[in-house]
């Protein structure tokens, strides 16, 4: 969301975080004046501040596990947190054993889950990393059910193929896969003999377009810097060779700036091509419209001669069709809902509105 806001408002993410921090600080209620606290009866102050916490073995274990996950605190820091909270701590050996025992118990629970109740589902997959070791993760996006979590030695196509087969063994009906542009993904589906709809993420390709825009602008700035230096030298002393070089660099600089401006506009077109809702009128998009817009956008990009843009177009042509898969999945439910809406409202204007 922050990245989206940064793109919309053409600012940096740190700026947005700073605005949020200042807003939060301004909205926080002011601390009470110490004089007001002293004026309160001693019993009331004691009742507000004093709270007895019973430190049991179960509380220590639950707090330690919460610090480690989802808190993300290291084992040594977790021990310090326990000491500060309960005036007690636990050794690193206890923390390590607790984590392994909890992991085994969680694994036993996950193995017993009957995933067939989910029906045919889309599966989101990605890699997490603990240091350099990958953890391959499969999640059902609607319920956030973890259908697969495997610590592996690598993330190659054969390994991902095994993960897909193991996920199916756990009675998960894979209707489709939502994924980023990781290269081994396509080969893993072929190895596992899974023919499923693929939804590629849209953020990374659009971010790649932004990076190419910066590259083209950087090249244009280098040309501009060279042009300014030549102009400065020509003002001091006229030189035919410098003038010939200036006459060659100036059109190149203008051409690069024009390509950057055009690519910036086309990035907006591509972003609109992967939207579900037309922002101008609120209509739900149909795939043929977005497909046409995406293809026309790529066709215009291909006319820009910069080599980085040409390589970008080659990559986008391979992933754009799978960036629009979500529109296929929304078509039938939307049509069913529209039939229900028409029966309910009995008024085409209200039906169209909703």
The tens digit of pLDDT for each residue in 44-98 reads 555 555 667 788 889 889 998 898 877 888 877 888 888 888 888 888 888 889 9
Q: Give the up-direction half-sphere exposure of residue 276: CA atoms within 13 A in the CB hemisphere.
A: 8
Tens digits of per-residue pLDDT, 301-335? 999 999 999 999 999 998 999 999 999 888 888 88
Tokens of 232: 């400065």
Residue range 283-289: mean pLDDT, rounded:
87
Q: What is the pLDDT of residue 135?
A: 92
What is the mean pLDDT of the segment spanning 284-309?
A: 94
- 130 or 341, which is more confident: 341
114 burial via Cβ count (<10 Å: 0-12, 13-18, 19+): exposed
Q: Do residues 181 and 203 touch, judged by C-beta distance below 8 A?
A: no
Q: Which two tokens stand for residue 323?
A: 């960036």
Q: Give the pairing of strands 133-140 and 120-130.
A: antiparallel
Region label for 10, one of left (φ > 0), alpha (ψ between -120 and 50) or beta (otherwise):
left
Mean pLDDT to the nearest integer, 191-206: 93
Average pLDDT score over residue span 111-121 = 86
Q: What is the DSSP letter of 233?
A: H
The most confident of the ranges 143-152, 190-199, 276-285 is 190-199
Sheet order of strands, 133-140 included = 145-151, 133-140, 120-130, 173-179, 197-200
Q: Residue 30 pLDDT > 60, yes or no?
A: no
Q: What is the number of alpha carbons within 13 Å of residue 340 lying toward its C-beta?
A: 7
Q: How far is CA 209 from the centre of its chain?
A: 16
Distance CA 260, CA 306 (A): 10
Note the pTM of the prediction, 2 decimals.
Answer: 0.67
Question: Would you kindly state where each structural domain of the chain is located, as residue ranges?
Answer: 57-112, 114-200, 203-323
Q: How far apart, in Å, do the first and last CA atoms of the chain sit?
A: 26
Cis before 325 (ω within 30): no
SS3 for 110? helix
Band the pLDDT of 205: cuts 50, 70, 90. very high
308 compared with 111, residue with greater pLDDT: 308
The per-residue pLDDT of the chain, averaged, comes to 87
114-200: CATH class: alpha beta
pLDDT band of residue 29 (cuts 50, 70, 90) is low
């Amino acid at each position: 969301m922050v990245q989206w806001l940064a793109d919309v408002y053409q600012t940096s993410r740190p700026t947005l975080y700073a605005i949020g921090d200042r807003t939060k600080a301004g909205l926080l209620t002011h601390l009470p004046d110490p004089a007001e606290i002293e004026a309160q009866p001693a019993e009331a102050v004691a009742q507000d501040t004093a709270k007895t916490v019973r430190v049991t073995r179960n509380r220590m274990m639950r707090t330690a596990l919460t610090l480690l996950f989802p808190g993300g605190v290291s084992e040594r820091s977790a021990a310090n947190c326990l000491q500060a909270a309960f005036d007690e701590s636990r050794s690193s050996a206890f923390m390590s054993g607790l984590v392994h025992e909890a992991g085994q118990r969680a694994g036993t629970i996950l193995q017993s889950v009957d995933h067939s109740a989910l029906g045919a589902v889309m599966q989101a997959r990605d890699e997490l990393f603990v240091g350099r070791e990958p953890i391959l993760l499969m999640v059902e996006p609607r319920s956030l059910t973890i259908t697969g979590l495997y610590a592996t030695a690598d993330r190659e196509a054969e390994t991902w193929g095994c993960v897909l087969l193991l996920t199916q063994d756990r009675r998960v009906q894979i209707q489709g896969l939502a994924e980023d542009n990781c290269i081994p993904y396509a080969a893993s589906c072929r190895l596992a003999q899974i023919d499923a709809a693929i939804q590629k993420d849209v953020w990374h390709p659009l971010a790649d377009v932004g990076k190419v825009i910066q590259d083209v602008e950087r090249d244009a700035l280098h040309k501009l810097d060279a042009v300014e230096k030549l102009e400065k030298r020509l003002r001091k002393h006229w030189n035919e060779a410098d003038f010939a070089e200036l006459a060659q660099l100036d059109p190149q600089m203008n051409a690069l700036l024009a390509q950057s401006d055009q690519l910036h506009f086309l990035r907006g077109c591509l972003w609109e091509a992967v939207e579900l809702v037309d922002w101008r009128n609120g209509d739900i998009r149909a795939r043929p419209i977005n497909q046409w817009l995406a293809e026309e956008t790529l066709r215009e990009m291909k006319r820009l001669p910069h080599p980085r843009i040409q390589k970008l177009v080659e990559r986008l042509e391979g992933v754009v069709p799978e960036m629009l898969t979500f529109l296929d999945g929304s078509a039938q439910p939307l049509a069913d809902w529209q039939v229900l809406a028409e029966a309910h409202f009995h008024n085409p204007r209200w039906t169209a509105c909703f």
